[in-house]
């Protein structure tokens, strides 16, 4: 079946097309950007696979208006990664693991596998994991090594070319990377690389890593990865695949989680969370340490590792426990479920109120609400039901339509709420728009009183370490007191978990290993523009 594809909207330069035989499930066409720099040994050649789709069915993400994106009052994790080495079903296991990590990104997914010839085969696409992959597509990804990625983004039409993993080719051969995090010095390093002849074809900071690897003078891919990572500032948990090797890397601060497990056949698995290990019957062994580079290849009895210069004090993201990670995961060595339950218990101690029932804003508020109810000695009930099938409204929104969108996602249970003094527990308040609508919804369902309890401290600052957060001035807690927020969302009482109380959950020693920048505005990694530019200049002089 023949069809046409508009290329100019994807790449601003000419491409050579290598069409494959079209079918219902195969990728078509495949476009390869030719080497454009005369210094071939230092030039990347990217392969980008486009999912076949009808021009009558445009990608939904390209239809998101700025207002709709603004009305989405939930924090979003940028992505999740998985890597598998030593299992003949590596690509299928990666597919299942990505299902377990779907909560970390719903806008795109991809898998790269090493086939029996040592070549890298890739399938990427826009949408949920189940929408991107089919049985026949997975059949095109043979081999016992694979990496995968799920992505969150609101970048609209630029979505497709930003879906990972990315594949690049340089003088040493081909490698692929999948990345969770954010590079603070991306703009500075990118500018210097472009001045030295590099050409970027995506808006994803992950591409920067591949250019740094290509420009490195180190003799092996592994040493080039080390060289590149030592130039990066910010948050990164990454998996690479090249030759017969799988490499996992975590930044020196350990902002984002990355764990290692092993299947009964000896296959090694890396993933953003342990819930992915559980789904594919891999036994959790340990975290990848901050600053560690773990290497797995066919020639090793086990795995080997090396370290970048690590920070003396890790700064792990506390929001992984409070919101992003699945409750059944072990993250940063802690049970997410037990940690959230403790948040709720302490919140009930520091912010008690007379009530008849405790409910949660599902799903992230559920475990904290259970802890609150248990400590308060008040029944926990399901007062709000969440529809997991309701997606964003891809139409020009009016206020009425935006209200309907919230109702489509959350439905009150009138028999639980009517005539009751209700405590509703949520994980956070971002802009306040969703909280306002939830309180209104509970009152409309007959709640006598509505007391809002938030299981994390007020968020006053943006995150630059791999979380899609609004600008600081858009965060309601950065411009209103708790009392003003209470009046704004029209609840009877409002209380947040104080930062000192949050730290009590972790104790006097462990509490120092977490990042609280979104609550304090004090960032563990900060570089002024001039300092970043000077660092970038020094770091690239050897390229």
Q: List the chain domain ranges.
A: 35-48+77-315, 339-520
Print pLDDT tens along the chain (543 aa).
Answer: 333 322 222 222 222 333 333 333 322 223 233 233 333 333 455 443 333 332 223 332 332 333 333 445 665 556 999 999 999 999 999 999 999 999 999 889 999 999 999 999 999 999 999 999 999 999 999 999 999 999 986 333 347 889 999 999 998 999 999 999 999 999 999 999 999 999 999 989 999 999 999 999 999 999 999 999 999 999 999 999 999 999 999 999 999 999 999 999 999 999 999 999 999 999 999 999 999 999 999 865 567 888 887 667 899 999 999 999 999 999 999 999 999 999 999 999 999 999 999 999 999 999 999 999 999 999 999 999 998 776 543 333 455 555 677 778 899 999 999 999 999 999 999 999 899 999 999 999 999 999 999 999 999 999 999 887 778 888 999 999 999 999 999 999 999 999 999 999 999 999 999 999 999 999 998 754 434 444 544 555 545
Catalytic residue list contains 79 = yes
CA-wise closest residue to 281 among 428, 465, 84, 420? 84
Both tokens assigned to 214: 């290509």
Q: Is 317 annotated as a binding residue?
A: yes
pLDDT, tens only, 283-317 = 999 999 999 999 999 865 567 888 887 667 899 99
Domain covering 35-48+77-315 in this structure, CATH number: 3.60.20.10
Q: Is 35 annotated as a binding residue?
A: no
Which run of H or of E encompasses 223?
helix 221-229
Residues whose CB falls within 8 Å of the CB of residue 499, separated by 6 or more in sequence, listed in order: 457, 516, 519, 520
What is this structure's pTM? 0.83
Beta strands in 361-454 (DSSP E): 384-386, 410-412, 421-426, 449-454
Which run of H or of E encompasses 90?
helix 90-100
pLDDT on residue 156 = 37
Both tokens assigned to 127: 């949408």
Query: Does residue 4 sit in helix, strand or coil?
Result: coil
Both tokens assigned to 25: 């499930």
Q: 3-state SS string over 418-483?
A: CCCEEEEEECCCCCCHHHHHHHHHHHHCCCCEEEEEECCCCCCCCCCCCEECCCHHHCHHHCCCHH
- Active-site hit among 30, 35, 50, 79: 79
Q: In sequence order, what are the beta bridge partners of 296?
A: 246
Packing angle, helices 186-195 and 206-215, rounded to 10: 40
Q: Do residues 115 and 53 lie in contact, with contact meaning Cβ atoms separated by under 8 Å?
A: no
pLDDT on residue 298 = 86
The percent of residues in the chain predicted with pLDDT above 70, rounded, is 77
Q: Is 30 annotated as a binding residue?
A: no
333 DSSP assignment: T
pLDDT, tens only, 144-156 = 999 999 998 633 3
pLDDT, tens only, 483-496 = 999 999 999 999 99
Cα(118)–Cα(470) distance, integer angstroms? 43
Q: Is 426 annotated as a binding residue?
A: yes
pLDDT on residue 370 = 99
pLDDT on residue 31 = 27
CA-wise closest residue to 128 among 108, 155, 101? 108
Both tokens assigned to 429: 């308040």
pLDDT on residue 161 = 87
pLDDT on residue 535 = 53
Fold equal for 35-48+77-315 and 339-520? no
Architecture of domain 339-520: 3-Layer(aba) Sandwich (3.40)
Mean pLDDT across the chain: 83
* Residue in the structure block whose two tokens are 């603070």: 184
Q: Is 515 annotated as a binding residue?
A: yes
pLDDT on residue 303 = 77
């Amino acid at each position: 079946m023949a069809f046409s594809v508009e290329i100019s909207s994807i790449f601003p330069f000419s491409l050579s097309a290598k069409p494959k035989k079209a079918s219902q499930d195969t990728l078509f066409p495949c476009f390869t950007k030719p080497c454009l720099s005369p210094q071939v040994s230092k030039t990347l050649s990217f392969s980008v696979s486009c999912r076949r789709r009808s021009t009558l069915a445009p990608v939904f993400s390209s239809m998101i208006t700025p207002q709709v994106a603004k009305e989405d009052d939930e924090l979003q994790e940028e992505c999740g990664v998985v890597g598998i080495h030593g299992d003949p079903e590596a690509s299928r296991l990666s597919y299942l693991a990505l299902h377990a990590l779907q909560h970390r990104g719903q806008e795109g997914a991809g898998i790269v596998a090493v086939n029996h010839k040592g070549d890298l085969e890739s399938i990427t696409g826009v949408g949920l994991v189940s929408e991107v992959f089919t049985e026949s597509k997975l059949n095109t990804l043979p081999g016992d090594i694979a990496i995968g990625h799920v992505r969150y983004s609101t970048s609209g039409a630029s979505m497709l070319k930003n879906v990972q993993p990315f594949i690049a080719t340089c003088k040493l051969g081909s490698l692929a990377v999948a990345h969770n995090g954010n590079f603070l010095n991306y703009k500075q390093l990118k500018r210097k690389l472009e001045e030295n002849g590099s050409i970027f074809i995506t808006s994803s900071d992950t591409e920067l890593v591949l250019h740094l690897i290509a420009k490195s003078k180190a003799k092996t891919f592994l040493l080039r990865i080390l060289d590149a990572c030592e130039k990066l500032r910010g948050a990164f948990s990454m998996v690479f695949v090249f030759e017969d090797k799988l490499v996992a890397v975590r930044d020196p601060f350990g902002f984002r989680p990355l764990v290692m497990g092993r299947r009964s056949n000896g296959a090694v698995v890396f993933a953003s969370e342990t819930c992915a290990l559980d789904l594919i019957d891999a036994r959790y062994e340990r975290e990848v340490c901050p600053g560690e580079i773990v290497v797995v290849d066919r020639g090793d009895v086990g795995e080997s590792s090396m370290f970048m210069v690590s920070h003396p004090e890790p700064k792990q993201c506390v929001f992984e426990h409070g919101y992003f990670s699945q409750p059944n995961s072990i993250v940063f060595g802690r049970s997410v479920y037990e940690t959230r339950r403790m948040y709720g218990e302490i919140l009930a101690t520091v912010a008690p109120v007379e009530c008849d029932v405790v409910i949660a804003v599902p799903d992230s508020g559920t475990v904290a609400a259970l802890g609150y109810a248990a400590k308060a000695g008040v029944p926990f009930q399901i007062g709000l039901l969440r529809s997991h099938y309701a997606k964003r409204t891809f139409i020009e929104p009016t206020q009425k339509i935006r209200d309907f969108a919230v109702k489509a996602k959350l439905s009150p249970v009138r028999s639980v709420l009517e005539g009751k003094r209700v405590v509703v527990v949520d994980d956070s308040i971002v802009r306040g728009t969703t909280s306002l609508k939830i309180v209104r919804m509970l009152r409309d369902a007959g709640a006598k009183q509505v007391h809002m309890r938030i299981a994390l401290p007020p968020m006053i600052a943006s995150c630059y370490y791999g979380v899609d957060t609004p600008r600081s001035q858009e965060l309601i807690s950065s411009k209103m007191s708790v009392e003003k927020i209470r009046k704004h969302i029209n609840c009877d009482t409002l209380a947040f978990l104080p930062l000192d109380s949050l730290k009590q959950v972790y104790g006097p020693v462990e509490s120092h290993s977490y990042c609280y920048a979104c609550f304090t505005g004090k960032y563990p990694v900060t570089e002024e523009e001039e300092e970043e530019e000077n660092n970038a200049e020094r770091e690239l002089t050897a390229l």
